[in-house]
Structure 1
Amino acid sequence: MRLVLSVLALALLAACADAPPDDGQIEPRLPISDEVVTPAPEAEDEATPAQTAGDETSTPDYVVTGNNPVISDTQDFAAVTERISIEEDKKILAAQREEFRVIAPTALPGRGGNTVNVAEFALKTSNKVGEKLYSRFNPIGGALTRTACKRYRLPDDAQEAFLKAGGPERDPKNLDPDGDGFACDWSPETYRKLVRN
């Protein structure tokens, strides 16, 4: 009965919700024009009181001009040549080339002695997920493993902790109950595919 009432309540809420907008409901954009529209000075003087009262409630139609200072025009050759000549541009380019320095490559920094690399471990192994290679004694198995795996945000973090604790040969943190050498939901396939491609 609760299920039926819950489904009916959800159906009523879904029926009351507005439909998401589609392409036809998007507000039209303002027309773009290259000319700047300014009201004529004499047009303001000729307005009657009735017209000005009506204008207070209505909104005017605005025209967006093409000279928007927010939009970059650096790809427009005519606009750029108005601001800077070709000779000045050559001088700027030459100055930038003089400042350009090529840095010689150096050796990559080494890893610390107590860090493990899950990618390196994945490439050294060839067994599949679930293929038992190591003996594990875990009488209540899955419950302890699920609890232990919840401590880690990512499967890579769980695998790293597993390897630091002596894995894959030992499993003191109960992260690998099936004995495949892979902790929690971690799979080496992600790293193996990178090498194949």
Structure 2
Amino acid sequence: MRILIGSMALVGLAACQTTVPDSGAGVGFKDYNQYQAEKAARDAALAGQAIPPATAISGESRGSSPEALAAEAEAALLRTQANSGATPVQTASNVPVPQTVSGAAGISSENDFDAVGAQRSIESDAALIAANKQQYKVVQPTALPQRSGSGGPNIVAYALNTSNAPGTQVYSRPGINKQARFQKNCAKYPSPDKAQEEFLSKGGPKSDRLGLDPDGDGFACSWDPRPFRKVRG
């Protein structure tokens, strides 16, 4: 009786035990051979190659060494890189295929020593400099042109030949109502310079027939010689 009870207990334990999956059957939920075939098809599609036919993988390949797996991965990578440039660019029918620029025609090559060396030489540069020197023109200095004009009074020379300050009497100016005549006559000239020229041309500064210098300083209509004197220094 005891033997029977023990046998039944062992059978019950065996029924409750979880089945251990076969770890060598493959990766994840797929068979390893199927996984390798799908991986090879995906790599070939990315590389632009034809899909190789599926081949059976022997049981020995499942246990390959890490060195063999690394060599296989490196070979697949080299095949992908070798074929990556051979695949033509695919575009839509209305989109032009981009062209590869092989040369920059609009860019100067002055900074490219090889290009400049091929186009020019020391001898050619020397010949160019010599040709430019032949075109030089040396302009010799000439005498200043003579002052043109009517030959009337020169108020600049008059200012430099005098030394009295404006308002200081140097010449006698007898008469009556001199100030009123001064204001009336000076209003006829556009500037004191014009009045001074007219004053000198009519006998000034010794004589003041136009009534432009009532204070007798020799300067008509408040003309000031000091700016001209400052230029002389």
TM-score for both structures, normalised by structure 2? 0.41
Higher relative contact order (CA 8 A, sep 6+): 1
Greater C-alpha Rg: 2
